[in-house]
Chain A
Amino acid sequence: GAGVSQSPSNKVTEKGKDVELRCDPISGHTALYWYRQSLGQGLEFLIYFQGNSAPDKSGLPSDRFSAERTGGSVSTLTIQRTQQEDSAVYLCASSLAVTGMNEQFFGPGTRLTVL
């Protein structure tokens, strides 16, 4: 595909359940990023991958959040034991990750609602 794709587009879950969000980056982009945007809040960085490794996990809000990337392509963000405060739009972006130039292109997002 031409752009970053994410699935599902919407996810409604009950408090305490686990959820998995998927991101498929632009073909050839080596770097992949996860952000979240809560209602009325700014974009919050969560984690990024360079290839399959995650040099910066500093933005993950708690140990209930984890992410992995395999084959240097698709990534999944997993939230365990979801809480209502996890409700947000989860955005994935990818970039070529050329030093000094880091233009990131976003997918359409996954809207997560925790009841």
Chain B
Amino acid sequence: QKEVEQNSGPLSVPEGAIASLNCTYSDRGSQSFFWYRQYSGKSPELIMSIYSNGDKEDGRFTAQLNKASQYVSLLIRDSQPSDSATYLCAVPISGGGADGLTFGKGTHLIIQP
């Protein structure tokens, strides 16, 4: 059973600062990694996917993957109050093409104005 671990938080970050969210996973064979944002009462929204070691940037978001350490992180630059949400890390249940995802419990991020 694949496991995905995240610090539940809450993680409190002042507006304009960098928020750093971390995730570790148990299966060394995992090849794809996803970050979702979930506002209270809403469904998860995909914000980043990463497949290779290193950094991937998209606007204010940067995903960082280190397969040797089984660690994936999400950085949010210039944090805004609208970034306050729960951030979920996910990996595929199997290594194949289509399959369900195993999610971490999520980190609750609070951006303080």
Which stretch (A11-19, A61-69, A79-87, A97-105) binds chain B?
A97-105
B62 at the interface (CB under 8 A from A): no
Query: How far apart sit A21 and B102, CA to CA, in the bound complex (Å)?
Result: 22
0/1 string, B40-51, CB within 8 A of A gives 1? 001111100101
| A42-B103, A43-B103, A103-B34 as given contacts; A98 in contact with B43, CB under 8 Å | no
B-side contacts of A100, CB under 8 Å: 31-32, 51, 97
0/1 string, B79-101, CB within 8 A of A gives 1? 00000000010101110111111
Would you call the interface of chain B mostly helix, strand, loop, or mixed?
Answer: loop
What interface size band does chain A fall in? 20 to 34
Interface size on B, residues (CB 8 A): 27
Query: How far apart sit A91 and B36, CA to CA, in the bound complex (Å)?
Result: 14
| A100-B31, A103-B49 as given contacts; A45 in contact with B101, CB under 8 Å | yes
Whether A95 pairs with B98 at a CB distance below 8 angstroms is yes
Q: Which residue in B42, B100, B104 is a CB contact (below 8 Å) of A56? A: B100
For window 21-46 of B, CB contacts with A under 8 Å fall at 31-32, 34, 36, 42-46
The 9 A-B pairs with the shortest beta carbon distances in the complex, nearest first, are A45-B100, A97-B98, A99-B97, A31-B98, A43-B103, A106-B43, A42-B105, A109-B43, A106-B44
Contact residues of A with B, CB < 8 Å? 30-31, 33, 35, 42-43, 45-48, 50, 56, 59, 89, 91, 95, 97-109
